[in-house]
Amino acid sequence: MQIDGVEIREGFAEAFPMRATRILVTAATADWAETAGRTATGFATSVIACGVEAGIERGLAPAETPDGRPGVALLFFATSRTVLREQLVARVGQCVLTCPTTACYAGIDGEERLPLGKALRFFGDGWQVAKRIGERRIWRIPVMEGEFLCEHETGMVRGVGGGNFLLLAETAEAARAAAERAVAAMRGLPGIILPFPGGIVRSGSKVGSRYRSLGASTNDAYCPTLRGVADTALPPEVGSVLEVVIDGLDEAAVAEAMARGIRAACTVGRRGGLVAVDAGNYGGRLGPYHFHLREILA
């Protein structure tokens, strides 16, 4: 299978179950909402070391938010409810509560619940007040600027982490051009985030390491500089590989994002230096979700 001369390899991306939630952050301006969102989702690229994977799902117009102000929708993914709860409370408390003009609301329903204002209200030191606005229970927490409004709880659902594809290119410039086009096509799709910097991963990993203290290490089969000294998955003309990782609220969202991203990456074409598209998997041992490249593109 080829797209504009780019080989689509007969591989699959292996993803795994996650716990996920969405919150809505609003502010007086879109810039302040984005500032709060970017801060709250910082250092959240991989559960390997960050605890949580998070990102801005999309911007929100005033007509889409509970208080009629501009905002952002944020998605958070973790491997357990406990970790997700701890990370969510810490990040909202340190990065949203502290940001000028912001408010925070639940962004998803779910039978399982995670605390927001329920945990952060104690910062009000006894002066906090709970109010009901429609179906929402909102805490009004006094701060020096005025008040921080924060919904009592948000929902938690089961999500999918680790959808991915690999872009095998002749040069680093060609790999980056393809990856940037992929990211641009995927940004803002509902139900997904691209948690790595700019949506792109230069240091894809494999499970395990020769060092016992590490649970993951460099994916040597896709490192061009190791060709000849380690088993390689790369043809001789490939000089650089970049990965795009997708987390989603369900399998359909991840598959749709992967398909759009791969098609956009392939617009670089073989003439532009993109050789092939592959995906990272561990023989089916890591997770139950298998996204076969040729199937999702069919």
**What percentage of the chain exceeds 70 in pLDDT?**
100
How does pLDDT run across 34-55, given as a tens digit for each residue? 999 999 999 999 999 999 999 9
Q: Judge if 292 and 209 occupy the same domain.
A: yes
Whether the predicted pLDDT of 215 surpasses 90: no
Residue listed under structure tokens 């995906």 = 279
How does pLDDT run across 161-173, given as a tens digit for each residue? 999 999 999 999 9
Whether the predicted pLDDT of 109 surpasses 90: yes
Q: How confident is the model at residue 14 (pLDDT cuts 50, 70, 90)?
A: very high
Q: Which of 116, 142, 157 is the last residue of a domain?
A: 157
- b/e per residue 215-252 (b: at least 16 CB within 10 A): eeeebebbbeeebeeeebbbeeebbbbbbbbbbbbbbe
- Please state, in angstroms and rounded to a whole number, the distance separating the CA atoms of residues 72 and 61: 8
Q: Which of 157, 186, 204 is the last residue of a domain?
A: 157
Quote the pLDDT of residue 76: 98
Q: Judge if 274 and 188 occupy the same domain.
A: yes
Q: What is the mean pLDDT of the chain?
A: 96
How does pLDDT run across 260-281, given as a tens digit for each residue? 999 999 999 999 999 999 999 9
Quote the pLDDT of residue 291: 97
Which residues share a beta bridge with 218?
Answer: 205
Q: Judge if 173 and 139 occupy the same domain.
A: no
Q: Judge if 40 and 138 occupy the same domain.
A: yes
Tell me the CATH number at 232: 3.30.70.520
Whether the predicted pLDDT of 202 surpasses 90: yes
Quote the pLDDT of residue 129: 98
Q: Which whole number is the average pLDDT over 213-235?
A: 94
Quote the pLDDT of residue 60: 98
How does pLDDT run across 123-151, given as a tens digit for each residue? 999 999 999 988 899 999 999 999 999 99
Q: How confident is the model at residue 160 (pLDDT cuts 50, 70, 90)?
A: very high
Q: Of residues 68 and 283, which shows the higher confidence score?
A: 68
Range of the domain at 170: 2-15+159-297
Q: Judge if 11 and 64 occupy the same domain.
A: no
Tell me, rounded to whole angstroms, the distance of Cα 162 from its chain centroid: 9
Residues contacting 84, CB < 8 A, separation 6+ = 19, 20, 21, 52, 76, 77, 78, 114, 156
Question: How many domains, in total, are found in the chain?
Answer: 2
- Please state, in angstroms and rounded to a whole number, the distance separating the CA atoms of residues 193 and 254: 9
Quote the pLDDT of residue 235: 95
Q: Judge if 221 and 287 occupy the same domain.
A: yes
Quote the pLDDT of residue 284: 80
Q: Which of 104, 123, 157 is the last residue of a domain?
A: 157
- Please state, in angstroms and rounded to a whole number, the distance separating the CA atoms of residues 149 and 102: 8
Q: Judge if 37 and 138 occupy the same domain.
A: yes
Quote the pLDDT of residue 283: 80
Q: Judge if 183 and 166 occupy the same domain.
A: yes
Q: Judge if 57 and 136 occupy the same domain.
A: yes
Which residues share a beta bridge with 243?
Answer: 166, 201
